[in-house]
């Protein structure tokens, strides 16, 4: 499991190596909320190749933006990312200050 100290994360995807294969999950980490509204650059970007899905557990302030097809999770203290190598599923958990 990886743990990141971050204020917000934007969860998105990009095509994988094979156009008909699995996608790459992209986590962009920011030091402020709603970075998509200010065109901010993430302080760290993490990519996970060949992912089937991303699960969200115990996170309450999550927004899905239809304009960009991204999930934004705000008010984080930290974010934990667990990748199950067998199922190719990522589970995101963390602590939020609401």
Question: Where residue 37 falls among pLDDT bands split at 50, 70, 90?
Answer: confident
pLDDT at 19 over 80: no
Q: By C-alpha distance, which of 7, 12, 26 is closest to 68?
A: 12
d(CA 22, CA 19): 8
What is the average per-residue pLDDT within 31-60? 94
Q: By C-alpha distance, which of 85, 84, 77, 76 is closest to 10?
A: 76
**What's the pLDDT score for residue 39?**
82
**What's the pLDDT score for residue 24?**
95
pLDDT at 68 over 80: no
What's the whole-model pTM score?
0.92
How would DSSP label each residue in 16-66?
-SSTTSPEEEEEEEESSS-GGGTTPPPSEEEEEEEE-EEEE-S---EEEET
């Amino acid at each position: 499991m990886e743990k990141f100290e971050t204020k917000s994360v934007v969860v998105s995807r990009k095509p994988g190596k094979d156009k008909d294969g699995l996608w790459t999950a992209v986590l962009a980490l920011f030091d402020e909320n709603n970075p998509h509204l200010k065109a901010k650059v993430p302080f760290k970007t993490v990519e996970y190749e060949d992912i089937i899905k991303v699960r969200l557990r115990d996170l309450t302030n999550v927004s899905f933006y239809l304009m960009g097809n991204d999930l934004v999770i705000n008010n984080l203290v930290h974010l934990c990312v667990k990748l199950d190598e067998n199922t190719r599923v990522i589970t995101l958990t963390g602590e939020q200050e609401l």
